[in-house]
Structure 1
């Protein structure tokens, strides 16, 4: 019998020599993209630094002229980018996957399977099938509603019924599951349809656990009904966590502010509301927090609030490619859900931006906004935020907001310093294994002479590196 994955889909490979990985092409593509689109370019290359920049660039070009290897070209181009002293500028090298065949494969195009079935038709199938497998059913989460149906003995398709991801349409197969004995394994098609990954699959009561993504069956006959968000928090190492230590301490841990973190924190706050409102000491652990969407952490602000909070806005470098990539990355789903009239209004707004402010650092919002809440909560009494050298981006931005409260003190060491420029988009280079991410927004606090990137966020209380348990230390300080 042919392997399952051979049966499952056709993979078309493109040899590496079909792309332009000439080092000159890569370097000039990166250089031109940064100069024409990076939000910090005018700050970093100016009358005081122009000569230094030109010499730096000339030296890099001379070195690059002798390089033939993609990886060495990447390394030298990345070194050239250090001139900007911005950790948000990221050159990515995608190493070709190892293969046992004689031909080196570097990229693949995946055929997306199709199954034309409606939700009504599938429900009829479920009702008429008394011996259906436990993975069969309608499974959904905040982004997808899927129909999992047996296609062959021990082979199941998870077909999209509804999707909030504009890349995926009804009738496309999002996941394929193979059963062997009593265990399941599956192939997951990435959101942008450019890759697949294989994972163990299991059904836990009303939850379909696909290892990296979770779904619930709202019509499950299971005696135990689990909350999908709570289940995600338990299984996902990157999810925010809340632990109550002793009777007077609540510890929030945030590895990042990505993915479903907003919904997960929202659940934790609602589920533990009564207990949180009686707990005098809180610790918000942002050690190694590598950013994301700082609105996740902003859900905590009503608890921390003692006075109006200054929230700085940012401005975008307006270019055609920046706006297009920003739209594709952050606005497409929102746009798809608008009425036709609102879509036309947004189209006109973006068109006017380009016509009137092309290549400007622009936004019509004020330099900062003021966050106010109606009242001050009695608990917590004191809050310690813990940061370290690996706290960056939105982790730093949340710290800046939260520390304005009289309840809050920041402990640890200087953060990374990666916040003056943000709102990242990805630009391709002529070489498919190398791409460039740049920030297209500039924070308004720079106009007031303040910078996060130079030294990072400074804590109110430094913790000596010889202190083994920073959480215990902060707890002891809060109780004083």
Structure 2
């Protein structure tokens, strides 16, 4: 299980969605999509056991496709992949899933940018202002005693245009935010020094232009909100913040743990903050396991559907590797897949639905560990929760995680109608059907309700009282 890559459906898409018509009429695009999913989606047989329901649904889409233009076809294709309720299965273009019809923030704000900028010079409200975040310049205006609206001033994405409403803030500390595909995320926000706006559940940080506070102070807080850190909170408790397990952060995580080994060993209590962690690779947390786990970890395995598409993807990945990198493992997998086309293959050493890993535990480690998780904790970060909960000294606090772990190792592929693309997993977990996680999530040991504003403070009190 260590080497499996879990691609998350949670990331905030930043690729521009160009208005490019498909090379296929809608009926043909739908037929090719259906054929690809029926032949190569690992969850197809499980999720279409009610054949009458599925066949009727498919026929209805076929009938509707005859009169759909390109934009209408996009929603139809999305309706098909949505049928399977799998976060790792979606259809889109240019690396971006098609938007949900009728998004909450489809309206624009009527505003004059110059007048808005002038009004900021005299506003007594510390939240109002012009903010920046990757790919966007945002205006934040108070439109009601209890409500603020965040609107686009400049955008690097064609999916969002000036004056589009991007998010709303309520005076009670909650936000509603539209992702790139205009699907809605909700959560709590915090403001720091009147210069930083932090949308916690989606880990979005906006920086206010020309703040009237100490810039070094802002930079320090910004690094903390956006980055990876390990610090002492009290005499007994430390916190490790890991916002992502993606491959590009492997070295950062490794260096962080190496630099703070003494703190990791000497802390009586440890809080691991995984809120908003979309996953990535299970390699990211291997160095941490000897400090938080028991001697044995029981892993569930997965089985891969052997398809030519998956074989081609592995061969492409193999070509991208450095010439000095051994490809023996990949070569063996490719040979096994070729010999079992159309069947499921278990690549684990035992070939069984589960296996037990024996760890060499660290001689010194925290006595109590809390992991903070929320709806933004997904994919391989959820597998970390799955195995960490086996340790007697670990408790998970927060809300149920995202729920994207039953089908994984997803790839973005062509299905014959450019620019349409399909994002589809290649394996199914062998804990199914007994222990499903998709759309359910990993459940916390202690649920933190909306009245708890500061989860870290709550965790410290929980550990030290």
- Fold similarity call, TM over 0.5: yes
Say which SS state the counterpart of residue 380 (structure 1) adopts: coil
What is the RMSD of the two structures over their aligned residues, measured on CA atoms?
A: 2.8
Instruction: Please say if 1:24 is aligned against 2:10.
Output: no
**1:241 counterpart residue number:** 229
Pair 1:441–1:389, CA change in 2 (3 A): same
**2:256 counterpart residue number:** 268
Q: Contact conserved, 2:280 with 2:380, CA < 8 A, in 1? A: yes
**2:122 counterpart residue number:** none
Instruction: Please say if 1:460 is aligned against 2:411.
Output: no
Say which SS state the counterpart of residue 84 (structure 1) adopts: coil
- Note the C-alpha offset of 1:84: 1.0
Instruction: Please say if 1:387 is aligned against 2:373.
Output: yes
Pair 1:280–1:352, CA change in 2 (3 A): closer
TM-score normalized by the length of structure 1: 0.62
Pair 1:291–1:445, CA change in 2 (3 A): same
Say which SS state the counterpart of residue 445 (structure 1) adopts: coil
Pair 1:65–1:337, CA change in 2 (3 A): farther
Distance 2:444 2:224 in 1: 29
- Note the C-alpha offset of 1:445: 1.1
Q: Contact conserved, 2:95 with 2:421, CA < 8 A, in 1? A: no
Instruction: Please say if 1:471 is aligned against 2:456.
Output: yes
Distance 1:25 1:235 in 2: 49
For residue 400 of structure 1, the aligned residue among 359, 381, 386 is: 386
**2:412 counterpart residue number:** 426
For residues 354-407 of structure 1, the C-alpha deviation after alignment (integer angstroms, 9 at most, x for no partner) is 23x211111242322322223354421111111112211111111111111111
Pair 1:235–1:450, CA change in 2 (3 A): same
Pair 1:285–1:23, CA change in 2 (3 A): same
Instruction: Please say if 1:351 is aligned against 2:335.
Output: yes
Instruction: Please say if 1:253 is aligned against 2:241.
Output: yes
For residue 423 of structure 2, the aligned residue among 432, 437, 461 is: 437
Instruction: Please say if 1:409 is aligned against 2:412.
Output: no
Say which SS state the counterpart of residue 436 (structure 1) adopts: strand
**2:68 counterpart residue number:** 67
For residue 326 of structure 1, the aligned residue among 314, 324, 347 is: 314
**2:304 counterpart residue number:** 316
Say which SS state the counterpart of residue 465 (structure 1) adopts: coil
Q: Contact conserved, 1:95 with 1:433, CA < 8 A, in 2? A: no
Q: Contact conserved, 1:281 with 1:381, CA < 8 A, in 2? A: yes
Alignment of 1:169-188 (within 5 A): none
Which has the larger displacement, 31-40 or 425-434?
425-434
Distance 2:435 2:277 in 1: 22
Unaligned regions of 5+ residues in structure 2, if any? 1-17, 97-221
- Note the C-alpha offset of 1:467: 0.7
Q: Contact conserved, 1:240 with 1:261, CA < 8 A, in 2? A: no
- Note the C-alpha offset of 1:336: 3.9
- Note the C-alpha offset of 1:414: 1.0
For residue 343 of structure 2, the aligned residue among 340, 347, 360 is: 360
Matched residue count: 322
Distance 1:15 1:470 in 2: 42
Larger Rg: 1
Unaligned regions of 5+ residues in structure 1, if any? 1-13, 97-233
Distance 2:225 2:449 in 1: 27
Pair 1:338–1:241, CA change in 2 (3 A): closer
TM-score normalized by the length of structure 2: 0.64
Pair 1:465–1:332, CA change in 2 (3 A): farther
Of structures 1 and 2, the one scoring higher in RCO (CA 8 A, sep 6+) is 2
Q: Contact conserved, 2:295 with 2:360, CA < 8 A, in 1? A: no
**2:136 counterpart residue number:** none
- Note the C-alpha offset of 1:236: 10
Alignment of 1:142-161 (within 5 A): none
- Note the C-alpha offset of 1:253: 1.8
